[in-house]
Amino acid sequence: MEDFLNLPLRSLWLTAVFGLLAVVCSAQDPVPPRQAPPDQSSQDQASQNQPSRNQASQKPASQNQASPTQGQSQQGQVPEAPTPQGQAQQTQSGNNQAERTGSAREQESPSKAEEQDSSSKAPPAQEPADQTPPSQAPASKSSSSKPPRPPAQIQGTQVPITLESSETIFALLTALNMCGYDQDLTVSDAMRSTVRNEVQQVLLDSEAAEEARTEVCDFVQNHVAARDSNRNISQYISLALYMDGPPHFVPRVKEEDLPPDAYNVALFGKLLERFYATAGLHGIWERHRRDYAAAMQRYHDPLAKMVFDTQIYLKQPPSQYLGRKFTIYLDFMGSPNETDARNYAADYYVVVFPAPATNSGAMPPSALKMDQIRHTFLHYVLDPMADKHPLAMQRMEPLLLSVKRAPLEDTFKTDISLLVTECLIRAIEIHMSGGKLAVDETLRAQAVDDVVKQGYILTRYFYNAVGTFEKGDVSFKGVYGDLLDNLDVKKEQKAAAEVQFANVASPELVRLSRPEDRRLLITAEKRLAAGDPKGAQELAQEAVDKKIGDQGRALFILAEVAVATKNRDGAQENFQRAIAASADPIVLGWSHVYLGRILDMKEDRDAAVKEYRAALDTSRRLPDIKAAAERGLQQAYEPPAKPQ
């Protein structure tokens, strides 16, 4: 890989990169700026309370006002507008939350608003006693009053790559561990079990700590984002990256500026604050700081080598990273088989859970997750290049039609720059692979073919182009534009048409946050809550047409609009589409409940019962949906009588 460098140039690169590339080993929490989470304070502030960053996923908001269905006959009526939002936050009535941002790599569930028990609320004009939560967007929280601490700096460094531990992430994950998060516990580092045992002892000795734990666990149960346990944990990690703490654990940005998947759990910090104090988590954290420092030391040299090798391969100067950050967090309290990577604005974050070290203390790259970290680092390097070539990306947009049949995430089917960058990264990774792939071109060709069958249809083109790049002496940034310009769109379309796509694709690691996408649906819900169904419909339809944000959420809003305008057939169609597009239990549960009511009004009792049962299957842990579905099973839904 160094053949293209003569001896003086190699020496210059080694001096520049090792002098400019450093990995910070600081055991403190980061202090996020207004939009993207910043670095942590310096090492000498370790004993102080450190803030961390947070992000939020959001759920479908419902309406505060009654749906205008009063006074209609059963034949023309639709059930009261659903309000799936209020489920999860029942302890705080009136704090209604809004919608999530459709991120290109982050799926999120619509946000929930807090609600009172239906027995304590005046029922709306058309809804029976099982009125669902209101749907207004919550008032934004102000950022923390504490001024941000300066980020940790490395003298002489121009490549802001840091390796850190975070007390905020530690506290949040420890709380989740005490609420049933046992994923891969038996293969985790022994430190995870040690901390769990120490906290468990505190819970046995302290009634206040046990009460705080119960509150935390109830919240977690009511905020299940998906059937995938890692997705559920991911939303809390997302929150931690934009959270101020400890000891207060409050978001540092307005709620509409939170990343999508954390919005759903934005109120978790209030419960975490009490659990952190009563369970003595700070003391436990301090006892194990040296263990975290030792883990970071194991990562330091492999991480520095990975970055150095990647920069040498791409022939990239360190100056291109000025003003941007790449941060790796280590924590023992998660599954060593999972890695969480995120892109917020210009900054990139990777959360890694160390695997146990061998008896000799050594750890192979696979256990260190260096492949995953390098994948994120390649996004850090290449994503900005794609943003600087909008015309070239526009020229390649017809290729999106070629991946409609592929098992890719929807974001790759709707955003050509994401598809192009992912294909390019996967091609580079195959070239840089070690082991047998490094010497066996047949195995490399098979690896390219496997990636193409997953839907990354440009990987073969980029693999060949990168092979040519290797032989030259121009930086990757210098040839990037030519790689795009030389791509023959029609040729690639023809090749893609002959691909037999696989049934599944490996999930993308890096999740992209786009708050502006979420704001579109937040505005739609606000308009619907303010009595402007037409305005809400226009915005939600725009989100559907342009594939902006959470499509299940957008379709749910369209269904709410149909309910509000007494369009029963339109409501039924969009609830069904929302179910097909969403993985969020709130959207799924309320959509099934309201489909059941619509079918009851059509006197199709058997079909209605199936919908109520589906609501229980998907959202049994959400008490309001559970109660509504059980009432639907007990007797057919009947809309309120027409007033005389």
What pLDDT, in 10s, does the model give residues 282-305? Answer: 999 999 999 999 988 888 888 888
C-alpha pair distances (Å), 62 with each of 68, 132, 236, 298: 14, 8, 23, 49
Residue 504 lies in a domain: yes
Same domain, 521 and 625: yes
Q: Is the pLDDT of residue 39 over 50?
A: no
Q: What is the DSSP letter of 265?
A: G
Kindly state the tokens that stand for 544. Answer: 């559907």
Residue 167: inside a domain, yes or no? no
| Three-state DSSP class for residue 511 | strand
Please check the confidence at residue 584 and state whether its pLDDT lies above 50: yes
> Which of 54-63, 285-294, 363-372, 601-610 is predicted least confidently?
54-63
Same domain, 438 and 487: yes
506 and 561 in a common domain: no
| Mean pLDDT score, 394-420 | 92
Domain edge (last residue) among 466, 491, 511: 511
Nearest to 306 by CA among 433, 398, 403: 433
Q: What is the C-alpha to C-alpha distance for residues 245 and 171, in angstroms, rounded to an integer? A: 10
The residue among 589, 310, 315, 608 whose CA lies nearest residue 432 is 310
Residues 614 and 597 both lie in one domain: yes
| AA letter at 294 | A
Same domain assignment for residues 486 and 531: no
In a domain, 423, yes or no: yes
* pLDDT tens figures, 436-445: 666 678 888 9
Q: Which residue type does 269 have?
A: G
Q: Which of 514, 584, 573, 569 is nearest to 546 (CA)?
A: 514
The answer to whether residue 501 is domain-embedded is: yes
Q: What pTM, to 2 d.p., does this model score? A: 0.64
Which of 55-59, 110-114, 423-427, 516-520 reaches the highest mean pLDDT? 423-427
pLDDT at 150: 36
Q: Are residues 518 and 410 in the same domain?
A: no
Contact indicator for 187, 353 with CB cutoff of 8 Å = no
pLDDT score, position 364: 64
Domain endpoint, select from 511, 536, 553: 511
Number of domains in the chain: 2
Q: What's the rounded Cα separation, in Å, for the pair 92 and 186?
A: 37
Full domain range(s) for residue 572? 80-102+128-141+512-634
Instruction: Check whether residue 488 and residue 399 sit in a common domain.
Output: yes
Residue where one domain finishes, among candidates 511, 537, 553: 511
Same domain, 444 and 528: no
State both tokens at 254.
Answer: 């307005």
Mean pLDDT of 213-235: 80
Lowest mean pLDDT among 8-17, 338-347, 453-462: 8-17
**90, 273, 341, 403, 641 from 83: Cα distances, Å:** 13, 29, 32, 35, 22
Cis bond upstream, residue 247 (ω within 30): yes
Banded model confidence at residue 546, pLDDT cuts 50, 70, 90: confident
pLDDT at residue 126, as a whole number: 34
Instruction: Say what the pLDDT of residue 254 is.
Output: 78
Residue 489: per-residue pLDDT:
96
Element (H, E) at 162: strand 161-164
For the cut 80, the answer to whether the pLDDT of residue 25 exceeds it is no
Side-chain half-sphere CA neighbours of 442 within 13 A: 0
Structure-token match 């609009």, residue found = 561
Residues paired with 242 in a beta bridge: 53
Q: With beta carbons less than 8 A apart as the criterion, state whether 596 and 582 touch.
A: no
Per-state percent for the chain, helix, strand, coil, to nearest 5: 55, 5, 40
What whole-number distance in Å separates Cα of residue 288 and Cα of residue 195?
9
Question: What is the predicted pLDDT for the residue at 368?
Answer: 85
- Which H or E element spans position 339? strand 339-344
Q: What is the DSSP letter of 17?
A: H
Asked, for residue 113, whether it belongs to a domain, the answer is: no
Choice among 69-83, 418-432, 585-599, 604-618 with the minimum mean pLDDT: 69-83
